[in-house]
Amino acid sequence: MEMTGAQVVVECLLEQGVDTVFGYPGGTILNIYDELYKYQDKITHYLTAHEQGAAHAADGYARSTGKVGVCLATSGPGATNLTTGIATAYMDSSPVVFICCNVGQKMLGKDAFQEVDITGISMPITKTNYLVRDVDKLADTVREAFGIARSGRPGPVLIDITKDVTAAKVDYEPIPQEKHSRTGALGKLIRRSSTSSLLRPEPDQKDIDILVDMIKESKKPMLICGGGVTRSRAHEEFREFARKVDAPVAITLMGGGAMDGADPLATGMIGMHGSQASNRGVDGCDLLIAVGCRFSDRVALKPDSFARNGKIVHIDIDRAEINKNVQTDHHIIGDAKIVLERLNEKVPQYDHSEWKEYVFSFPTETKYDLDENGVMTPKEILATIESMVPKDTVVSTDVGEHQMWAIQHFHFSYPGQLLTSGGYGTMGFGLGAALGAKAGNPEKTVIHITGDGSFRMNCNELATEEFYKLPVITFIFNNGVLGMVHQWQDLMYDKRYSQTILDRGPNFVKLAEAYGMKGARVTNIEELQTAITEALEEQKEGRGYLVDCAVATDEMVRPMVNGGTNITEFLLN
């Protein structure tokens, strides 16, 4: 049947099972928005306050549902406003398809109004991208983009379409998703790794057998649960593997929820702000098995001495990650879920009680002294929140001290429960991501944990929250400073607090009220409990809520290991 390019785009979204998109319109993408107007009964569009908010919302939707997120924007500043969100998704391997429209073909390269080379700009931060100048290739391009975004190591893909292509006519033949070519209709390569596969690569059985023998020889095994376990939804297989090996499990920032934080084998977070149990366990083990972990500089702070007393085994879907940061003794290339299934078939039950007793002799969480002035500690705040919200509550964070506190003290129990910017460290990620999660999981409670610095970044998305009745409960850890940077200045810059004091507005409770929501400023646990009770009641009515929590300015994230040192050289305990 004959359709315009804009119709083809929307029909292809329906082929992919898309029913939710986030975005912001503009001149070059108006043809697509005109078609979306006609498809309102099939696709829900959320208009955000800013394109960056739309990007984070699509990302949060993807992470929390396991589906591919979709984000739309116009050319020029609309497209470039997406780039922080694209990079965030790329660093954390989140599958999002970004669709932009550019000026007409005859105007390309002429510095036309709102023209930008978004494919050139986004090349390093996407798995692949496209500039569509031929309407005959449009449908296959969209299909392939979704295939690449969701398969192998997931990640963002960008499609830029010239405006005249969205208006041009073409014969369109619908193809159900299950009949799409596995290798991609256009044969596009994935830039992220020259050897990446569009499929889930099957592991080599010989590599599996080698690891089985290594486990047999080990007396002090340790596991790392990384983001790859989360992305693959391999949590059940990973937990079975951990129980069979009977090994303590350290959890990366992106692995939160893949291993239940309350599991008896969980030692807490690893790395710069990792627990003593995690860091000392990794340092003392004779065999370290890292699953879906890329050994970033916040985990392997000093690569040469990382797990220095043991052999390192790396399981990852992306061959490009192997030996990139840490030299391994053995590796297995494959999807975490498949690899763990194969291992569980081969690994017998072990008992490493003596080793576990040693590892768990160290703290798995930070202990806080009660403030003599009654100021709430981060652990008190998070323990109170966790005790009062439903167990399956989705938690979105921004970046900073509050982020580390949340990972340390909130016990995440399933993949997609924790939404955080781990690789890129994007302040302002949290609220948009929370809204995307709520759109994708309307039956769940969604909370947003942020700091007074991060919240200023994208607090304009309160307008989106209120208008669409996407009730999110925002908790601000308000210490009056840019906390993490302030902490570094305190410890390493002789207390020269250059531009980190936030002695200025707004009044966050009044800001929430300006957007039609209630809020409360709390200074003790009793006030916090009252606020949470009211917030949960407001949520039932489709209204969000903001809780401004007073935190001591000098409260720090502990433990802390300085960059470039061994993970047991704690600067703070």
User: What residues are annotated to the active site?
Assistant: 51, 113-114, 163, 484
Contact 222, 326 (CB under 8 A): no
Q: Which residues contact 348 (CB under 8 A, 6 or more apart)?
A: 244
CA dihedral 255, 258, 261, 262 (to 10 degrees): -170
CB of 298 closer than 8 Å to CB of 278 = no
Return the half-sphere exposure (C-beta side, CA atoms, 13 A cut-off) of residue 215: 25
Instruction: Give the whole-angstrom CA distance, residue 118 versus residue 80.
Output: 7
Pairing of strands 128-132, 96-102: unpaired
**Contact yes or no for 572/558 (Cβ under 8 A):** yes
Do the strands 287-291 and 446-451 form a parallel or antiparallel pair, or are they unpaired?
Answer: unpaired
Report the C-alpha gap between 75 and 266 in whole angstroms: 46
Question: Which residue has 């007074």 as its token pair?
Answer: 452
> Tokens at residue 321, please?
């990650």
**Three-state SS at 123:** helix
What is residue 360's DSSP assignment?
Answer: T
Residue type, 159: I
Sequence-distant (≥ 6) Cβ neighbours of residue 288 within 8 angstroms: 221, 222, 223, 224, 282, 307, 310, 311, 312, 313
